[in-house]
């Protein structure tokens, strides 16, 4: 199964991001828009795993101490358009702790440098500059172990465990 660790976003934050995506569409930005239900902030992408149990065990000692998460201006990685997240010691510390626990347990994950963002559009084309930064804030209280699968041609993310 394909797994990743993420921060699940509040309904209010998803609504703010969806509003931004509508503004992008009105401006003519084309691409594969992420469905509102799939919006999240990835802490670590694990990829294909035989079982979720080793991940749950590895993260049993990780505690999310609660912190505020605020949206920031959009940006791009190649043809991926994302919403930014304001710099935050709580988020940076949680990501370090999660990745450290995975390292200690010998669980492999994508080791790209942690760059907090929320993907909005894949295979994006068009002019996106000028769309205002989404406004949203929430309190992070835990980590979600997520499973990614394709059903009827659509990507579906399912929380299989709440950690921290």
**Enzyme catalytic residues:** 40, 117
Name every residue whose Cβ is closer than 8 Å to that of residue 65 and which is 6 or more positions away in sequence: 90
In terms of residues, how long is the chain?
Answer: 164
**What tokens were used for 60?**
């049993």
DSSP one-letter code for 37: G
User: In Å, how far are 26, 55, 154 from 106, measured between CA atoms?
Assistant: 46, 10, 31
Measure the CA–CA gap between 2 and 146, rounded to whole angstroms: 8
DSSP one-letter code for 135: -
């Amino acid at each position: 199964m394909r797994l990743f660790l993420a921060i699940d976003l509040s309904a209010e934050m998803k609504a703010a991001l969806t509003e931004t995506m509508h503004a992008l569409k009105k401006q003519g930005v084309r691409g594969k828009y992420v469905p509102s239900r799939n919006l999240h902030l990835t802490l670590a992408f694990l990829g294909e795993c035989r079982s979720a149990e080793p991940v749950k065990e590895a993260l049993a000692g990780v505690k999310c101490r609660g912190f505020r998460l605020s949206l920031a201006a959009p940006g791009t990685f190649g043809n991926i358009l994302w919403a930014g997240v304001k710099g935050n010691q709580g988020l940076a510390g949680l990501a370090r702790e999660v990745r450290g626990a995975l390292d200690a347990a010998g669980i492999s994950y994508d080791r790209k440098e942690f760059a907090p963002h929320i993907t909005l559009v894949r295979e994006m084309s068009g002019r996106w500059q000028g769309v205002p930064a989404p406004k949203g804030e929430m309190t992070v209280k835990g980590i979600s172990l997520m499973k990614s699968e394709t059903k009827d041609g659509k990507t579906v993310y399912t929380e299989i465990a709440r950690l921290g």
